[in-house]
Amino acid sequence: MMINLVIFIYGIIFGSFYNVVGLRVPEKKSIVTPRSACSSCGHQLTPIELIPVISYFIQKGKCRGCGSRISPIYPTFELLTGILFAAAPYFTGWSGELVVALTLISLFMIITVSDIHYMIIPDKILIWFAGFFLLERIIWPLDPWWNSLLGALTGFLLLLVIAIISKGGMGFGDVKLYALIGFVLGFKLVLLSFFLSTLFGAVIGGLAMLLKIVKRQQPIPFGPFIAAGTLVAYFYGNELINLYLQILS
Ligand SMILES: [Zn+2]
């Protein structure tokens, strides 16, 4: 239990960092300097104000410089990263696969920020994570090992076809991302990931249009749905497929 709490706290700290990465990398800014600042008055955050989640509550959600409201998205995002980090060992056990799971969560947190803010999945991020995943799948391979290659090819081709058919509705960033997802998850689960992402996108996107949160022609970033669909496929995939087969038979 203690160890889960430690992972949770690490998740919150990393979440805070991933938010900075997701916001700065697409703008080609350094992820180390300068320190984060208030977007309204430019007040640079002091060490106390940089403490994830807690500082938000200490400051009652307001900037110390100008008193303008800080979006609750930030602490929510940090908490969510912490929760996902802490939940991961329940699915993977204390094995090498836990490292893969945490890497996957990290990739998706960064991508979600970039895609929501800029509608971009930065190449730089994908290349970095491709390096990590390659190394991890050499150390902790899928069974059989070539399932990674088959998955990567499947993810790439499937999204490439859709990108071509949709004429830009699906960006090329998504194609590259799905090659990476396929490499980590393998053939079967990458297909499930795509099915779930599309389902989540259709349901939530449709709901957002119905409630007039977004306009019909407004493009919706697909990254967060890919993140949700893939994590569900990765953590629950085999149970879902077994359940489906049971219903069929
Ligand atoms: Zn301010």
Per-residue pLDDT reduced to its tens digit, 230-244: 999 999 998 999 999
- Buried b / exposed e over 183-196, threshold 16 CB at 10 Å, is bbbbbbbbbbbbeb
Measured in angstroms, how far is the CA atom of residue 68 from the centroid of ligand 1? 6
Q: Are 213 and 163 in contact (CB under 8 A)?
A: no
Measured in angstroms, how far is the CA atom of residue 69 from the centroid of ligand 1? 8
Measured in angstroms, how far is the CA atom of residue 45 from the centroid of ligand 1? 9
Furthest CA-CA distance within the chain: 64
Helix axes 123-139, 97-118, angle to 10 degrees: 170
Please give the model's pTM, rounded to 2 decimal places: 0.92
Distance from C-alpha of 115 to C-alpha of 229, rounded to nearest angstrom:
15
pLDDT digits (tens, 9 = 90+) for 69-97: 988 888 999 999 999 999 999 999 999 99
pLDDT digits (tens, 9 = 90+) for 196-218: 999 999 998 888 888 877 776 67
What mean pLDDT comes out for the span 97-114? 97
Task: Give the three-class secondary structure for 62.
Answer: strand
Q: Calculate the average pLDDT of the chain.
A: 92
Q: What are the residue boundaries of the structural domains of the chain, listed by start?
A: 141-249
Q: 183 pLDDT exceeds 80? A: yes
Residue written as tokens 């890497």? 103
Measured in angstroms, how far is the CA atom of residue 67 from the centroid of ligand 1? 6
What mean pLDDT comes out for the span 212-231? 84
Q: Are 56 and 75 in contact (CB under 8 A)?
A: yes
Distance from C-alpha of 91 to C-alpha of 104, rounded to nearest angstrom:
13
pLDDT score recorded for residue 234: 97
Measured in angstroms, how far is the CA atom of residue 138 from the centroid of ligand 1? 47
Among 29-38, 84-93, 171-180, the least confident range: 29-38
Task: Give the three-class secondary structure for 171.
Answer: coil
Measured in angstroms, how far is the CA atom of residue 37 from the centroid of ligand 1? 8
Asked if the bond preceding 34 is cis, omega within 30° of 0, the reply is yes
Q: Where are the extended beta strands (E) located within 179-230?
A: none
Split at pLDDT 50, 70, 90, the class of 130 is very high
Distance from C-alpha of 61 to C-alpha of 213, rounded to nearest angstrom:
24
Above pLDDT 90, what percent of the chain?
66
pLDDT score recorded for residue 111: 95
What mean pLDDT comes out for the span 97-122? 95
The burial class, CB within 10 Å (0-12 / 13-18 / 19+), for 182 is buried
Output the CA–CA distances (angstroms, integers) from residue 148 to 22, 54, 135, 161, 238, in the order listed: 26, 40, 12, 20, 16
Above pLDDT 70, what percent of the chain?
99
Measured in angstroms, how far is the CA atom of residue 112 from the centroid of ligand 1? 25
pLDDT score recorded for residue 96: 95
- 37 φ, ψ to 5°? -135, 160
Split at pLDDT 50, 70, 90, the class of 219 is confident
Measured in angstroms, how far is the CA atom of residue 27 from the centroid of ligand 1? 21
